[in-house]
Structures are given as C-alpha cells and as structure tokens.
A and B are shown apart, each in its own frame.
Chain A
Amino acid sequence: MLALDLLVNGLIFGLFYALMAVGLAMIFGVLKVVNFAHGEFYMVGAYTYVLLALKLDISPWAALPLAAVAGAGLGWLVERTLMRPLYSGYASWSLMKDEYAVVVTFGLSLLLINVVDKVVGPYPFRGPALIETSRFSLGPVMLNGQKLIAAGLSLALLVGLALFIKRSLWGRQIQAVAQNRLGASLAGIDATRTTSLIFAISGLLAALSGALLAPLINPAPDVGAFPAVKSYVIVVLGGMGSIWGAMAAALLLGVLEAFFAVYVSYDYRDAFGLLILILVLLFRPQGLMGEKGREV
C-alpha cells in the first residue's frame, strides 16, 4: 500500500506546488520573463502569517487573508517600480529585456531575503497551524489536519482562479494581454493595469501558499528557494506561460518526486526536479502542453 500512500501525498504536494507555480506561469505568459524573486513572494507570505499569529496574537484564520494581501501588495509594487521598462522602450537598452528581468528579479530576491534576515533574524519560526490535530491515518495514508486543510484550500483557490480567468471580464483581459499585448491595447484593454493585476494575483497566490505551508515548513529567510525551484520546474514542464499546463505539471511533479525519493534516492531528491527542468528545456522547450515558444 506504499504506492497509494505515495500517490496521495504526491498529489497533495502537487496541489501546493500548483498554488506556488501558477502565478509564475501567469507572469511568464504576459511578460515572457521569469520572476527570479517568486520564491520571496512565498517567503513574505509565510512570514506575514507567522509573525501576525505569533507576535500580534492574531487568529491564524485572520492572518491567512492578511498574508495574501501582503503578497498581492508586494506583487503590485514590484510591477509598478521594476517591471515597467520591460514594455516601455526597452529596445534601446544595452541590458536587453531578458537580461534586465533576470538582474532585477535576482537582485530583488537577494534584497528580500537579506532584509528579512536582518529584520526578523535568520532563525526559523514555527508557525501556528490552522487546526491542531495529530497525525491520523486515512486507510493506508498518513495525514495531518493542517496538510488536509492546506490541500483543500489550495484546491479551492485553484478552481477559483480557473473560473476567474475563464469567466470574469478581468480574467478575459488577462488572456487577451497574454496572447497579444498590442492587439489587446488596440481593443481598448489597459494592458499596463492588467499587468499590475497579474503581478498582484501572482504575489497573492505565492504568499498564500507560503502561509498555508508555514506550519509544515518553519519559515526561515531562505525558505523561498525551494518553492521557487519547484515553480521553475513546473512552469517549464507545463509549457512556459500556460496556467493549465502549470496546474497539471505541478500534480505530475508532486507524484514523480514522491516516488523518486522513495524508490531512487532521498539524498538527490532536490536535484531530480532540476534534472527534469534541464531535460525539458533541451528537448521540449515548449513544455508538455505549451505551444512552441523557444525563440523569445
């Protein structure tokens, strides 16, 4: 029954991964750049949640939406201050578009890690759980309350996001800008405002996944590295920029990793995802579900 246990746990982790990665996929879909500070959106969410709950004694259920607001605010701010040059006359730059995005987001990542390290301290915090339950078994599968709730909320958020993008006017504007920025602008869509919205959503989702996982992972300043790397793998695997691809790839990666850790090597489990990343980039850069998009 080990296989079933691994499958269920893999899928649960896949849901967490999807929540982390989907915002990165949205940003890539619209600006065709990788946000190397994505892991720090997650870290900020985890810290907001933990510090509000521990230091200000706010109920974890109230801290969760506040962490989401912090993440959305950070995403919005990053877009306003740093991303604008990407779509307003970057062509004459010596640091070209891609390079600019790598330098700026990589720098932002270092900045946020070290600011948190300096202000809050380098030591991990133990976040309070939404509900305190000990581990219990569901058939052959071992779970705990926090994990179940986090997985349930992740699923709900992902479904909500999918509906938002498919049905709502804002969601359709996002799709339009992702498909063709200029075309969307000509059709009367405010592409700049839509990009702000995308960064806010991206920050919100990453921060929420950080907050939901805070009780399971004990946030430290560099805690974002792990979800960031998972997100890169997922976004590439699912097809750069494809939201649906990212969701599917996240579940796939969660399950594959669970099996790899048990049947192949626990020590090298973190290298496994990266190996997938290299292989996919080399042999199928359009990802499993994405359109061909090698030349940017």
Chain B
Amino acid sequence: MTGAANLWANRLRTDFRAALAVVVLLALLPAVVTSPYSLGILIVSIYFAMLALGWNLLAGFTGQFSLAPAAFAMLGAYTTALLDYHLKAPLAIGIPAAVIGTALLGLLLGRVVLRLKGPYLALTTLSFAEIARVVVGNSYEFTRGDQGLNVPTLFESRVGYYYLFLAVLLAMLAGLYRLLRGRAGRFWLAIRDDETGAESRGIDVVRYKALAFALSCAICGLAGSLYGTFSQLVSPELGLLMQTGLVISMVVIGGIGTLTGPLVGALLVYLASEWMRGFGNIQMIVFAAVVIVFARFFRTGLWGLATRPRREAAAGGAAGVKP
C-alpha cells in the first residue's frame, strides 16, 4: 500500500467515525426534542442528508456531476405512490420497488451518459430531471398531475419515523464506507482524479461509473419513497431543480467528497432554513450566498476547515493528494 493510499484510508476512517458520532448524537436527540413539530423537521433534514450522501457519491467520489438527485427522489416516491394508487400494493412491496426501480433507471441513465463530462453531463442530467418532472406533472390520468398522490403511512408515531430514517441513514453510511474502503472506492477515486489514467491501468471504468450512478440513484429513490410515506403526499414539487440546488448547497457547505460533510451540511442547512423561516423567506438567499462563498474561497467545506490543521500535520508534505 502506497503512502497516499494509506493516507486516504486513515482519512476515510476518521471521516466515518465522525459521521457515526453525528448519527449517535442524532439518536440521542429525541430524549430532549419531544415536540412532533421539531421531530418532523429533524426527519426532513435526515431525508436531505440521504439525498446529499447519494449526490456526493456521484459528484464527490466519482466526479460525475449530476443535476438529477431531486428527480430520483421524486421518481422513487412516485414508484411507491403509483403502486399503491393503481395496484393497492402494500408498502412492503412499494418501498423496495422504489429502490429497485430507481437503481435500474440510474443504471440506464449512467450507461447512457457514460462518456459525458462536466457541463455536458450537467446539462443531460438537468434535462432528464426536467423531463421527468414535466411528464409526471402532465400525465393527469396516471399521476393526478400537480395535485399529487396520497401515500399510506408506515406508522403513526413520529419517533418511530425518526428512528427508521436514522437507521436507514446509518445503513447507507456503513454501506458507503465499506464500498469506499474496498476496491470500488479506490477505483471511483481513480476515475474521479484521472479517468484516462484509470482506464489505462485496467480499471473497468464503464462498470464502476455505472455502479456509482445506480447506487446514487437508488439512495435518492429510497429517500424519496420514505419521505413520501412520512409526508403522505407525493407531488412533482419533490423533483424541482430548486431541491437539487438545496442538496448541492448542503454538500458544498458541508464538504464535498467526504462522508461527514454532506451529513453535517444537510442538518445545518435544513435546520437553519427552518430557523430562518421566522425572519421571512430569506433562507435560499443566505444559502445561495454561502454556497458561492464556500465554492469560491473554502472549497473543502466545513469538514475540510475542521480537519485542516491536523491533516496538514499528518500529510507531512504528501504532495499530489487532493484535499
């Protein structure tokens, strides 16, 4: 194992432990936070944390900059809702169907956009997202259009939902950590940093890029499906580009290409947005401005800022490793 790879493994382990610490803190919160309203806000922020993790897997770890995470959340939610609406399928079928459906769709989209990069990829995924939203919103007979669909609830208690969301988030984090620590993670990073180089070293770029796409979309699809059963209403608004903007802002503020960053970013941004609601709707102004400032001046995000002093000492001049 080379020095750089070792450094990466160490950094990933620290990162994962920090993410676990955040999850543990979240697990303790219901002892203090008891009002259904506050729990609801926390549940939605965990939903966003899932989307942020899913998007970050693509953008942060594989360098594929998609603009479709919210669209996949919408598609996942609609898979569950439509199965219930048309076929009366129970959630035990509807939720797994959302995961499988979005994974397959993600695989397909991933294969299709394989060779596209940067602005080309961003534009293609943006159009995919908008087409999906327009089609869902305009197919009145099938989806009831903008009115949305009702979804049955999983359980009555908000605490139950809270721990379900948290458990799923934990499973996503653990799964991602395993993958990133293993062969897939190293290949993904290699592809992100130098695709041609990775290919010439014999990495199956097609396979690993498609895998990242499918996984990322399945994560967003599952998050959307769960969110649908929590809010009990599924509408095309879930897929608005503005929602994708929110997810990107969470990842950029938290720290792109890390496990803890998206998590902390999602919690901070969503909680702050709820808090700022009291001052009139200035949340999006603040977040957009913060995102621009972070992207411009603090490109490693909060996680990068928090770990920088230690990292520089640990790196000891390990040049060539990206922050």
CB-contact partner of A111 in B113, B289, B296, under 8 A:
B289
Residue A7 at the chain B interface, CB threshold 8 Å: no
Q: Which of B99-107, B224-232, B245-253 contacts A (4 or more CB under 8 A)?
A: B245-253
Q: Report the number of A-B residue pairs with Cβ-Cβ less than 8 Å.
A: 138
Task: Please measure, in the bound complex, the distance between the C-alpha atom of A97 and the C-alpha atom of B65, giving whole angstroms.
Answer: 12
Q: Are A229 and B288 in contact (CB under 8 A)?
A: no
Residues of B at the A interface (CB closer than 8 Å) are 59, 63, 65, 67, 112-113, 115-120, 122-124, 126-128, 130-131, 134-135, 138, 241-242, 245, 248-249, 252, 256-257, 280-282, 284-285, 287-289, 291-292, 295-296, 299-300, 322-323
Contact at A94–B295, with CB atoms within 8 Å?
no
A20 to B: closest C-beta gap in Å: 16
> For residue A170, which residues in chain B have a CB less than 8 angstroms away from its CB?
none
Quick check: is A291 within 8 A (CB to CB) of the other chain? Answer: no
- The smallest beta-carbon distance between A42 and chain B, in angstroms, is 16
Indicate if the CB atoms of A101 and B138 lie closer than 8 Å: no
Are B124 and A277 in touch, CB under 8 angstroms? Answer: yes
CA distance A114 to B242 in the complex (A): 11
Contacts of B124 in A (CB 8 A): 277-278, 281-282
Q: Which residues of B contact A36 (CB under 8 A)?
A: 122
Q: Is the CB of A285 within 8 A of B116?
A: yes
What is the 8 Å Cβ interface bit string for chain A, positions 82-110, against chain B (1 contact, 0 not)?
Answer: 10010000000111111111111011111
Complex contacts, B284 vs chain A, CB 8 Å:
110-111, 113-114
The contact of A118 among B138, B242, B285, B323, by CB within 8 Å, is B285
* Chain A residue nearest in CB terms to B114: A282
A275 vs B112: C-alpha distance when bound (angstroms): 14
| In the complex, residue of chain A having the shortest beta-carbon distance to the beta carbon of B126 | A232
In the complex, the answer to whether A94 meets B323 with C-beta atoms within 8 Å is yes
Q: List 25 A-B contacts (CB under 8 A).
A: A33-B119, A102-B119, A102-B122, A103-B248, A103-B291, A103-B295, A104-B296, A106-B245, A107-B249, A108-B288, A110-B245, A110-B249, A113-B284, A114-B284, A115-B285, A118-B280, A118-B282, A118-B285, A232-B123, A232-B127, A274-B131, A278-B131, A281-B120, A282-B113, A295-B117
Q: How far is the CA of A104 from the CA of B63 in the complex (A)?
A: 16
Q: Which of A137-145, A158-166, A250-258, A264-272 contacts B (4 or more CB under 8 A)?
A: A264-272
Q: With both chains docked as a complex, state the minimum distance between the C-beta of A216 and any C-beta of chain B, in angstroms.
A: 22
B166 to chain A, nearest CB (A): 29
Contact present for B281 and A110 (CB under 8 Å):
no
Given contacts A103-B248, A278-B127, contact A94 B322 (CB under 8 A): yes
Give CA–CA (A82, B297) in the complex, Å: 10
13 additional A-B pairs beyond A103-B248, A106-B248, A277-B124, beta carbons within 8 Å, are A82-B296, A94-B322, A95-B256, A96-B63, A102-B119, A107-B249, A109-B245, A110-B291, A114-B285, A277-B123, A278-B124, A281-B120, A282-B116
Query: Which DSSP category, helix, strand, loop or mixed, fits chain B's interface?
Result: helix
Q: Which residues from B are CB-within-8-Å of A229?
A: 127, 130
**Contact of B127 with A274 in the complex, beta carbons under 8 Å:** yes
Which of A33, A34, A270 has a CB less than 8 Å from the CB of B134? A270
Given contacts A94-B257, A94-B323, A110-B242, contact A281 B123 (CB under 8 A): yes
Per the CB 8 Å criterion, the residue count for chain A at the interface is 49
* Chain A residues positioned under 8 Å from B245 (CB to CB): 106-107, 109-110
Contact among B112, B131, B257, B296 with A271 in the assembled complex (CB-CB below 8 Å)? B131
Q: Which of B59, B63, B127, B288: most chain A CB closer than 10 A?
A: B127
CB-based nearest B residue for A266: B138
A79 to B249, CA, bound (A): 21
Set of chain A residues within 8 Å of B115, measured between Cβ atoms = 294
B295 surroundings in chain A (CB, below 8 A): 95, 100, 103-104, 107
- Does the CB pair B291–A107 fall under 8 Å? yes
* Residues of the B chain whose Cβ atoms lie less than 8 Å from the Cβ of A95: 252, 256, 295, 299
Task: Flag if B299 contacts A94 (CB, 8 Å).
Answer: yes
Q: Which residue of A lies closest to B293 (CB)?
A: A107
Chain B nearest Cβ from A186, distance in angstroms: 26
Closest B residue to A235 using CB positions = B123
Contact (A34, B288) CB under 8 Å given A103-B248, A271-B135, A295-B117: no
Residues of B within 8 A of A102 (CB): 65, 67, 118-119, 122
Distance to closest chain B CB from A194 (angstroms): 21
Given the known interface contacts A114-B284, A295-B117, the answer about A34 and B289 at a Cβ–Cβ threshold of 8 Å is no
A6 within 8 A of B: no
A244 at the B interface (CB under 8 A): no
Is the pair A117, B119 in contact by a Cβ cutoff of 8 Å?
Answer: no
Closest 3 CB pairs of A and B: A98-B118, A111-B288, A274-B127
Q: A270 to chain B: which residues have CB within 8 Å?
A: 130, 134
Contact with B along A271-296 (1 / 0, CB 8 A): 10011011001100100000000111
**A88 vs chain B, min Cβ distance (A):** 12
Residue contact B117 to A114, C-beta cutoff 8 Å? no
Please give the distance in Å from A79's CB to the nearest CB on chain B.
13
**Set of chain B residues within 8 Å of A115, measured between Cβ atoms:** 285
Taking a contact as CB atoms under 8 Å apart, the answer to whether A82 and B123 are in contact is: no
Q: Which residues of A contact B287 (CB under 8 A)?
A: 110
Residues of chain A with a CB closer than 8 A to B248's CB: 103, 106-107
In the complex, what distance in Å separates the CA atom of A82 from the CA atom of B63? Answer: 21
Asked if A28 is at the interface (CB within 8 A of a chain B CB), the reply is yes
Set of chain B residues within 8 Å of A28, measured between Cβ atoms: 119
